[in-house]
Amino acid sequence: MVIGLNYSDPTRFRSDVFINVGNPIALADFKEKYNPESFETVEELTDLIQKRMAETVIITEDEEEDTLVKQVEILYKNQLFEELVLDSKAQKDEFDLIKQIVTAVRYFEHHRPTLFKSLQIKMSNYLDTLHKLRLSDEIFTQTQHLSSHLRSTLGLLILGLPVYLFGLFFNYLPYILPSKMARLISTDISYRAPLMMTLGIFTFPLFYGFQLWSFQSIFQQPWLTLGLAVFLPISGFFVLWYWGKLTRLSQVWQATRLFRQRSSLMQTLSGERTAIFQSLNEAKALYLKVGE
C-alpha cells in the first residue's frame, strides 16, 4: 500500500496534512518472476512504487516550477474552485486541483516558455511588493469590509491578550525548539514538518512536566496544579489562534492606511493584479484548448 503525505505548509506547526492512500501493490506477482541472479524484477517493483508515489503526492521538477505553482495557488486557486464547482474545504478536491496546476505549469514551462516567463515575472513582482508592504492578496477582495473587520478583531484581541501572554510564556520554548532543531538536522523543507512533529512529542511533555513540578513545589496545591495541566495545552492552541488573528489585523490595518495615504500605489497594485488575472485566464483557455 502506497501512502502519500501532503502538507499545506511543511514549515508551520499544525499545518493541514492530506493523507492520500494509493492502490495496493500485489507483491505476489513479483515473487513468481523474481530471479536472485537478476535485478530486473527489483527494478520493475521500484519503478512501480515510484509511479504510485507520484500519484499520491504533489511533485515539482525544480525550485522555479515549485515557486510558480505556489504563486498560482495563492492568486488563482480560489477562482478555480468556483469555476470548477469544487469544495475548497475538501482536501481531495484541493489535491486534484493542485495536481492539475502542476501539469499546466509544466506544459507552459516546456511548450510556451515565453508565456511561462512572463507570468513568472508578473506574479513574482506583484507578490514581492505585497510582501514588502506586509499585505496579502486577499486585501483586494475585501476592501469594503476592512474598517468593520479592523474594529471587531481589535476588540477580540484586547480581551484575549492576558490569555495570549500566559500561553506564550509557557509554550514558546517547547514550540520553537523543534523548529530550530529541525532546521539544524535537515535543510530539506519537505522533512521539517515530520521532524518538528517528532521532536514536539518530546519537548512539550518535558517542558510541561517541569513547569507543573515547579508549580506544585512552590504552591503545594494539587487541584491548582491539575487545573494548570489542563490549561497549558489549551493556552498553547489559543496562542496560535491569537497570532493568526493578530497577523491578519496587522495586514488589514496596513491596507487601510495605504488605501488612505498612498491610494496611487494601491491602484497600481490593483492594476497589476487585474493584468495577472487576465493573463492567467488566457493561459487557462489556451491550456484547455490544447487538452481538447
- At 153 the pLDDT is 78
* 18/148 same-domain check: no
Helix (H) or strand (E) holding 21: strand 17-21
Q: Does one domain contain both 149 and 231?
A: yes
Question: In this predicted model, what pLDDT tens digit does every residue of 102-133 receive, in sequence order?
Answer: 889 888 888 888 988 898 999 999 999 999 98
pLDDT at 44: 81
pLDDT of residue 167: 94
Instruction: Please tell me whether residues 64 and 31 are part of one structural domain.
Output: no
DSSP symbols for 240-272: HHHHHHHHHHHHHHHHHHHHHH-HHHHHHHHHH
Q: Which of these three, 42, 57, 72, is where a domain ends? A: 57
- Say yes or no: 90 and 158 in one domain: no
Q: Say yes or no: 220 and 171 in one domain.
A: yes
- CA gap 53, 20 in Å, rounded: 10
If phi over 0 gives left and psi between -120 and 50 gives alpha, with beta otherwise, what is residue 58? beta
Q: For residue 37, what pLDDT is reported?
A: 67
pLDDT digits (tens, 9 = 90+) for 193-250: 778 878 888 999 999 999 999 999 999 999 999 999 999 999 999 999 999 888 888 8
Claim to verify: residue 202 and residue 288 sit in the same structural domain: no
pTM over 0.85: no
Is residue 157 located within the same domain as residue 235?
yes
Q: Which of 57, 81, 101 is the last residue of a domain?
A: 57
Among 91-100, 138-147, 207-216, 252-261, the range scoring the smallest mean pLDDT is 138-147
- Same domain, residue pair 170 and 245: yes
- Find the domain containing 111 and state its range: 60-141+263-292
Residue 169 has pLDDT above 90, yes or no: yes
pLDDT for 243-287, tens place per residue? 988 888 888 888 888 888 888 988 999 999 999 999 999 998 888
Same domain, 152 and 256: yes
Q: What share of the chain is helix, strand, coil (3-state, %, to 5)?
A: 80, 5, 15
- pLDDT at residue 143 in the model: 61
* pLDDT for 25: 77
* 142: CB partners within 8 A, 6+ apart: 149
State the first-to-last Cα distance of the chain, in angstroms, to the nearest integer.
Answer: 34
3-state secondary structure of 128: helix
**Per-residue model confidence (pLDDT) at position 254:** 85
Give the Cα separation of 276 and 22 in Å (integer): 36
Q: Please tell me the predicted confidence (pLDDT) of residue 230.
A: 94
Q: Are residues 131 and 228 in the same domain?
A: no
| Nearest residue to 75 via CA among 167, 140, 169 | 140
Residues 49 and 74 in one domain: no
| Nearest to 80, CA basis, from 104, 101, 59, 105 | 101
Give me the pLDDT at residue 145, please: 62
Evaluate if residue 144 carries a pLDDT over 60.
no
Most confident of 28-32, 185-189, 195-199: 195-199
Number of domains in the chain: 3
User: 82 and 216, same structural domain?
Assistant: no
pLDDT reported for residue 12: 64
Average pLDDT, the chain: 84
- More confident of the two residues 28 and 97: 97
CB contact burial 12-48 (16+ within 10 A = b; e otherwise): eeeeebbebebeeeeeeeeeeeeeeeeeebeeebeee
| Phi-psi category of residue 134: left, alpha or beta, with phi > 0 → left and psi -120 to 50 → alpha | left
Q: List the grid coordinates of 173.
A: 520554548
pLDDT tens per residue, range 34-55: 677 667 777 887 888 888 787 7
Say which residue the cell 489585523 belongs to.
249
Q: What is the pLDDT of residue 263?
A: 87
- Is the dihedral angle over the CA atoms 200, 205, 211, 212 positive or is it negative? positive
Answer whether 102's CB lies under 8 Å from 60's CB: yes
Q: How far does CA 152 lie from the centroid of its chain?
A: 26
What is the model's pLDDT at position 64?
82
Question: What whole-number distance in Å separates Cα of residue 248 and Cα of residue 13?
Answer: 18
